[in-house]
Amino acid sequence: MTRLKILQTVIFITAFLIVLRLFYWQFVAKINDVSQTLSQDEIPASRGEIYTSDNFPIVANQEAFLFYGKPKEITSVKETASKLAPLLISEKYATREAQLSDDEKKQKEEEIKKQEESLFSKLSSKSLFWVQLARKVPLATKQKIEALEISGFGFENDEKRFYPEASMGAQFLGFVGSDKLGRDTGYFGLEGNYDSKLRGKPGRLGQDTDPFGLPILVREFRPLSPQKGASLHLSINRSIQFIVEDKLKAAVEKYGAKDGTVIISDPKSGKIIALATYPSYNPANWQEYEENLYKNKAVADTYEPGSTFKLITMSAALDLGMVKPNTKCDVCSGPRQIGGFEISTWNKKYFPDSTMTEVIQHSDNIGMTYVADKLGVDNFYEYINRFGFGKSTNVDLQEESPGGIREKEEWRPIDLATASFGQGIAVTPIQMIQAVGAIANGGKLISPKIVDKIEANGKEEIIKVDDTKQVISPQTAAQITEMMVNAVEKGEAKAFAPKGYRIAGKTGTAQIPVSGHYDPNKTIASFIGFAPANDPKFVMLVRFTEPSSSVFGSETAAPTFFSISKEIFNYYGIGPTEK
Amino acid sequence: MTRDFKIERKEPNFNLVGKIKVKVLVAFTVFALALIFTQLVFANNLATDGNKLSNTNEEITKLERDNTTLKAQIAQESSLTVLSQKAKESGFEKPTKVIIP
């Protein structure tokens, strides 16, 4: 009987110990093992890459890590924080000490101090099992931290974006930040517009693991592999984009402009070849730049187009047969009074009886009011709509603005007159490219697009262009093209034009409205055109905000346009056609 | 005699059914035990194979990571920003005259 009792007691004690151990593995060990809880549910999906037209990954992915600490396991918090802080500051200080200026060295020291304080406060929270210390930590930093051999820290995969061409195309690419839940999310440009496609679908582990993290193969196994996001293939030509950014930066600095924008597209397909704005930012360190740089001015910024808009007014009048290229202006001998306002030319020079071709050549505001009178508000408004102003072009970039055209009923005679030479209406640079692209394309308007195809799981989806609309007849397009060629060859900017090429173009100098009036010293200088005029390979807009060396488009935007054009001619192998 | 005959007739039948039942029960028990034992052996083997699977998965992940890193390095080295800088350092200049055939 006694022996039986002893046996019973042994059995009970063994059973109790087993239950106790199981409880430990099930609850205590599970809570402490952070790596297991972090990885067992979601397997993050890699974001899709973005390629330029030569299949170069302008946006790729890079191995990076989420760095966490386990406060309960860290003994000397202060010492640990001071060791880690220099490794977790901004990547911009990752250059050699000697390359940093005194100011930058000071900033670096301040940032290290801040980081140290932040680490100390996080690691001092002893009630926490786990605390996130940094995200998107590069591999090199991870290796440096591991070399310190401090216990109580760990890493989890946290892939990040990599930009081999640094800030190239930053404003059409956008950047990747985090949403409320800490998941990677695209903002602005292509990253914003195609976020749902680029982000892919995260997978699930769906597998039981033992306390050491090893899979238990006899248990249920239903893993769901993550699906990598779709990759975008752009129509952007990397070489032309490089040339454009280089020239634009030099020009903005040379002319002392506040900012500059260049858009180049193929008028026959609507595909964007290059799109640059300066100043720009580096999407890898987007947090360190001012927020106003994130928006792509080429699609989000509205401005009064000035004389470049004369092309639209003249196209409308030619298309309706209200004027012909040789129609003479009978009001062009001096300033005009309209609705109590005086309209004059930009240089106070007047050309009586000038033809419509000469009106464009001289960029004659009075000549344009003559054309506007012929058109009337209804017709003019109809053509403004036809050319796509006042509504989105449907370019595949997130932050596009529709511009601003007043309701037809609100137009007074003075509004008709000023709109005819591009003042009093607000357009976006991409709308101007779309409209002048239609002139270059025989009168057919095509919505601009930057993505050629989307590739996902080995399948390709070609992005089709929206329906083309014939907004003016091919004859009208040919007539206005000849007027533009004449303006380049005989106009204010003729000295800068490359010899032997037929380039169609028009300058624009628009005053900027400030507190209800126009400031004569603040202008938006632009030049829009296409080449070669007979068989256009590209349509380009160059725009500067508030250039200080000269307020005129003919002295700032036009030389930049021609300088970029020369490079494109060489790149495409387009030779001069005339001697 | 009649009584004895009745007893003799019933007893052998009862024993036969009982014996068959017991045999079937034993067979099933042995079979079930064999299955349990087999499962235990296989489960035991599989449980230790988790280590191998884990190692293989780790290897795959490592290779994928290396691939990503190499791709990024190739892209960086062939970027126009880097190439133009290297060209400048090597003394290359932009052509002033371009002949287009």
Q: How would DSSP label each residue in A198-261?
A: HT-B-EE--B-B-TTS-B-TTS-B--BPPBPPPEEEE---HHHHHHHHHHHHHHHHHHT-SEEE
Buried b (16+ CB within 10 A) or exposed e, A378-405: ebbbebbebbbbbeebbbbbbbbbbbeb
A156 vs A352, higher pLDDT? A352
For A179-233, how does the pLDDT look when each residue is reduced to its tens digit (9 = 90+)?
Answer: 888 889 999 999 999 999 999 888 776 666 666 666 666 565 566 778 899 999 9
Cβ <8 Å between B72 and A60: yes
ipTM of predicted complex: 0.71
User: What would the two tokens of residue A377 be?
Assistant: 């508000």
Q: Which residues of B touch A223 (CB under 8 A)?
A: none
Looking at residue A94, the DSSP 8-state letter turns out to be: -
Candidate from B46, B65, B76 with C-beta closest to A218:
B46
* Residue whose token pair is 């001697």: A579
Q: To which H or E segment does residue A137 belong?
A: strand A131-138
Type of residue found at A460: E
Distance from CA of A38 to the nearest CA of B (A): 16
Q: What pLDDT is attached to residue A203?
A: 77
Question: Is pLDDT of A37 > 50?
Answer: no
User: What would the two tokens of residue A237 be?
Assistant: 């030509």
Cβ <8 Å between A165 and B79: yes
Tell me the C-alpha distance between A575 and B100, whole Å.
6
Tell me the C-alpha distance between A295 and A276, whole Å.
12
Where are chain B's structural domains? 2-77
Query: Maximum CA pair distance of chain B?
Result: 136
Those of residues 185-214 in A touching chain B at CB distance below 8 A are 210, 213-214
Under a CB-based contact definition with an 8 Å cutoff, are residues A357 and A326 in contact?
A: yes
For A362-392, how does the pLDDT look when each residue is reduced to its tens digit (9 = 90+)?
Answer: 999 999 999 999 999 999 999 999 999 999 9
Q: With bands split at pLDDT 50, 70 and 90, how would you rate the model's confidence at A97? A: low
The reply to whether A570 touches chain B by the CB within 8 Å rule is yes
User: What would the two tokens of residue A579 be?
Assistant: 């001697």
CA-CA-CA-CA torsion sign (B53, B59, B60, B65):
positive
Tell me the C-alpha distance between A431 and A203, whole Å.
41
Q: How many CB atoms lie within 10 A of CB A324?
A: 13
The reply to whether A218 touches chain B by the CB within 8 Å rule is yes
Tell me the C-alpha distance between A12 and A199, whole Å.
55
Distance from CA of A241 to the nearest CA of B (A): 10
User: How would you write the pLDDT of chain B (101 residues) with one tens digit per residue?
Assistant: 445 555 555 555 667 888 888 899 999 999 999 999 998 888 777 777 777 888 888 898 889 888 888 988 999 899 998 999 999 999 998 877 777 66
Chain A residue closest in CA terms to B42: A218
Q: Give strand pairing partners of A517.
A: A514
Candidate from A61, A165, A215 with C-beta closest to B50:
A215
Q: What pLDDT is attached to residue A127?
A: 79
Tell me the C-alpha distance between B68 and B81, whole Å.
21
Q: To which H or E segment does residue A459 belong?
A: strand A459-462
Q: φ, ψ for residue A546 (rounded to 5)?
A: 50, 60
Bond prior to A279 in cis (omega within 30° of 0)? yes
A470 vs B10, higher pLDDT? A470
Q: Which residues of A touch B80 (CB under 8 A)?
A: 165, 168, 238-239, 242
Tell me the C-alpha distance between A66 and A46, whole Å.
15
SS3 at position A304:
coil
Q: Which residues of A touch B87 (CB under 8 A)?
A: none
Q: What pLDDT is attached to residue B1?
A: 45
Neighbour-count burial of A170, counting CB atoms closer than 10 A to its CB (0-12 exposed, 13-18 middle, 19+ buried): buried
Under a CB-based contact definition with an 8 Å cutoff, are residues A360 and A506 in contact?
A: yes
For A247-285, how does the pLDDT look when each residue is reduced to its tens digit (9 = 90+)?
Answer: 999 999 999 999 999 999 999 999 999 999 999 999 998
Task: Classify strands A341-343 and A184-187 as parallel, antiparallel or unpaired.
Answer: unpaired
Under a CB-based contact definition with an 8 Å cutoff, are residues A231 and A51 in contact?
A: yes
Q: What pLDDT is attached to residue B40?
A: 85
Cβ <8 Å between A214 and B98: no
- Within A259-309, residue ranges assigned H as helices are 297-300
Candidate from A164, A213, A239 with C-beta closest to B75:
A164
Candidate from B43, B68, B79 with C-beta closest to A218:
B43
Tell me the C-alpha distance between B47 and A527, whole Å.
73
The reply to whether A168 touches chain B by the CB within 8 Å rule is yes
Q: Which residues of A touch B84 (CB under 8 A)?
A: 242
The mean pLDDT value for A112-125 works out to: 90
Type of residue found at B100: I
Q: Which residues of B touch A537 (CB under 8 A)?
A: none
Cβ <8 Å between B72 and A238: no
- Using CA atoms, how far residue A421 sits from A199, A314, A363, A574, B55, in Å, is 45, 10, 9, 33, 72
The reply to whether A500 touches chain B by the CB within 8 Å rule is no
Chain B residue closest in CA terms to A570: B98
Bond prior to B95 in cis (omega within 30° of 0)? no
A52 vs B50, higher pLDDT? A52
SS3 at position A353:
coil
Distance from CA of B29 to the nearest CA of A (A): 24
Q: What pLDDT is attached to residue A448?
A: 95
The reply to whether A57 touches chain B by the CB within 8 Å rule is yes
Tell me the C-alpha distance between A534 and A440, whole Å.
9
Q: Taking the C-alpha atoms of A383, A539, A455 and A48 in order, what is their torsion angle to the nearest 10 degrees?
A: -100
Q: Which residues of A touch B51 (CB under 8 A)?
A: 214
- Residues ≥6 apart with Cβ < 8 Å to A19: none
- Using CA atoms, how far residue A516 sits from A309, A343, A424, A425, in Å, is 21, 17, 11, 14
Q: Which domains does chain A have, with CATH numbers?
A: 48-59+160-203+219-234 (3.90.1310.10), 64-89+105-158 (3.30.70.2110), 238-282+292-452+462-572 (3.40.710.10)
